[in-house]
Amino acid sequence: LPGSYLNGVYESHPLPYAEAGYGYPEAGQTVINVTNAKLIRLLVDDHPFDVRYGEVRSHERLLDFRTGLLQRHVEWLSRGRRGVRVRSTRLVSLVQRSVAAISYEVEPLDAAVRVVVQSELVANEALPPAGGDPRKSARLEAPLHSVSHACRDARVALLHSTAASGLRIGAAMDHHIVGPPSVQVSAESSPDLGRVTIPAALEPGERLQLVKFVAYGWSAIRSDPAVRDQVDAALTAATQTGWSGLVEEQGAYLGDFWDRADVEVDGDPEIQQAVRFSLFHVLQAGARAEGRAIPAKGLTGPGYDGHAFWDTETYVLPVLTYTDPEAVANALRWRHTTLPTATERARQLGLEGAVFPWRTISGAECSGYWPAGTAAFHVGADIADAVVRYVEASGDEAFEREVGLDLLAETARLWRSLGHHDAQGRFRIDGVTGPDEYSAVADNNVYTNLMAQHNLRAAADAAERHPDLAGRLRITAEEVGAWREAATAMFIPYDETLKVHPQAEGFTRHEVWDFAHTSAEQYPLLLHFPYFDLYRKQVVKQADLVLAMHLRGDAFTAEEKARNFNYYEGLTVRDSSLSACIQAVIAAEVGHLELAYDYLAEAALMDLDDLEHNTRDGLHVAALAGTWIALVAGLAGMRERPGGLSFAPRLPPGITRLAVGVSVQHRRLRVEIRPDATTYQLLRGEPLQLLHDGEPVTVATGNPVLRPTHKVPPSEPPAQPMGRAPLRHRTAG
């Protein structure tokens, strides 16, 4: 889909209900397509340059992950048989966060041509219809209302506002133009259109070159003049930097990122390209999201209405924790800014602490379907888990004091309020929805209970580390004691007959879904069967209990992990892009390396191969992050432990070398895994202690440590539901 998106820019709209209920969210939020500044139109002797007409002699488009540039080279003949060569290069700056730029060149192929270039800003651009899939976005017609427009020389600015969300959005463009003496420049503006027109007569060997500088500004609190001034200042800074300066800044920024975060995969060039594609887009989604959420689609499309989910904390932030930790701190600071909204939501629901939203842009709950939305209280524990991981990996005590303890305490207060001690003294959390959206409003979801337990303990530990701050937050010794008591007594259901953990209490007593009579065309099930039927059957949309075994692996024995994994493989249909990477992690841990490889490939190629046929609505940022998770947590076996990291490296047939970079505790670590040996090399920082297959290892700069890579004997993998096994991955050579 064509689109231009700014993080946090949305329009509000009523959430309609056939039958209203207490506590239902009243308003939704939908990301909007803002002023499009990408447009550069070309006319060749009055024929519009359009690859659907005339003759395309050559066409190449290249996204360079190292430089952060999107390049396009085309040779084209119009219907009038006039030929041109067009080169364009586009960047969205990761350094100057409000700026984008396009370098555009046109030259004749073999005869003189008359060309006209039109560079535009277009607001309220018409988009194709969204369709009936509920995962697509709501469609808002013409959400931008003109405030002002102006033009001067080759510079144009438009200022708009939204009616309901009260946002102001400014966009401006300026141009640097080089060409023959025949070049002329004119500019015009209207409420929804800004245009700079550049006609020129080009002889063979002559070029028309232009650089289009673009700046955006947006705010819910600043005035119209303030937003206009911000945009003008950003545009002036960009033009002063110049095209070559922007390119140099972008290359330096990404060079530093790849030096610390690159993942190298030998033996499978398809997976190698995919993991770099994934890391590039995860970085784009989160690196400059200061003060705003990281949406499930990043800024690549309007799917899910541009909402952020728990995906951010559970999938995206673990990757950024070890590759770009500053982005994690910023993402969690955004959650902290929404804490007043979350505590108000808790009061509305009769609870203490904070209830964070299932889906949101600004911090307010936007899910109109409460079993999958409000009931998914695990979001709070997911945020707490991200806080703990970031603090342990970064050693950022200031963050823990300024942001972390507040988040940990308010989420712990929620669990103490939501759960209760039963007659046997067990702490129960009833009537909640875990990660599996095909099982809603269940008692004692194992994932939720284990993550809540972790949350409660972490809050108590942090409060005791910072007693002065705890006092200011009104955390008493009695409250800390109650958190620890609830954590100790947390009820974790177990099926003694099947010798597995039920996903939630009673789950293994449900009827198993009739997979044999479910056709391939009926997946995803949510589009073909009522939730009522899904909720009362043993069928799993995505990793739930299996995700618990990854994030709370300390709560399970090795034998329990193997039995649980085998059991849930037969029930999990992967109707969610979040599932394959986690199944890859646990498959590798329990010894099914080829199956782990297949799941790794599914996560890695989710968007590159459009496996779910919906990339038109945007990329799956959590699945992209899952590529890194499947490689680093899966094949490298990396786990967090108190005070450091542990690794249990395993390589499947087909991958001959895996090397990953990890930033942890102000150190930079490189782990290189080969079939026979694993090398740990500390590139920066004080000596680091870690575990290799349970053995303590100390790594110091200049002294790489080699340890044998454990060889996993082949084993019979478990079966998946009929027709839902992952595609067997075959390497490219």
DSSP letters along 336-388, please? HHTHHHHHHHHHHTT-SS----SSBSSSS---S-TTTTTT-THHHHHHHHHHH
Among candidates 5, 689, 708, 635, which has minimal Cα distance to 304?
5
Residues 6+ apart with CB under 8 A from 679: 671, 672, 704, 705, 706
What are the structure tokens assigned to 589, written together? 């841990």
CA 625 and chain centroid, separation: 7
Among candidates 168, 158, 180, 186, which has minimal Cα distance to 9?
168
Does the annotation mark 120 as catalytic? no
Specify whether the CB–CB gap between 301 and 619 falls below 8 A. Answer: yes
Specify whether the CB–CB gap between 413 and 352 falls below 8 A. Answer: yes
Q: Which of 392, 437, 505, 602 is catalytic?
A: 437
Distance CA 52, CA 276 (A): 32
Dihedral-angle region of residue 695 (phi above 0 means left; psi in -120 to 50 means alpha; beta otherwise)? beta
H or E segment at 628?
helix 621-629
Tokens 């970064």 appear where?
Answer: 394
For residue 524, cis peptide bond before it (omega within 30 degrees of 0): yes
Specify whether the CB–CB gap between 103 and 208 falls below 8 A. Answer: no
Return the amino acid letter for 491: F
Specify whether the CB–CB gap between 649 and 637 falls below 8 A. Answer: yes
The CA-based dihedral angle spanning residues 241, 246, 252, 253, taken in that order and rounded to the nearest 10 degrees: 110
Query: 3-state SS of the chain: helix, strand, coil percent to 5?
Result: 35, 25, 40
Which residues partner with 84 through β-bridges? 76, 108
Residues 6+ apart with CB under 8 A from 347: none
Q: What is the DSSP letter of 253?
A: H
Reported residue count of the chain is 733
Specify whether the CB–CB gap between 343 and 354 falls below 8 A. Answer: yes
Distance CA 460, CA 706 (A): 39
SS3 (DSSP) at 482: helix
- Between the alpha carbon of residue 525 and those of residues 54, 220, 528, 535, 724, the distances in Å are 44, 39, 5, 12, 12
SS3 (DSSP) at 47: strand
What are the structure tokens assigned to 679, written together? 């090398």
User: Where in the sequence numbering do the catalytic residues fall?
Assistant: 437
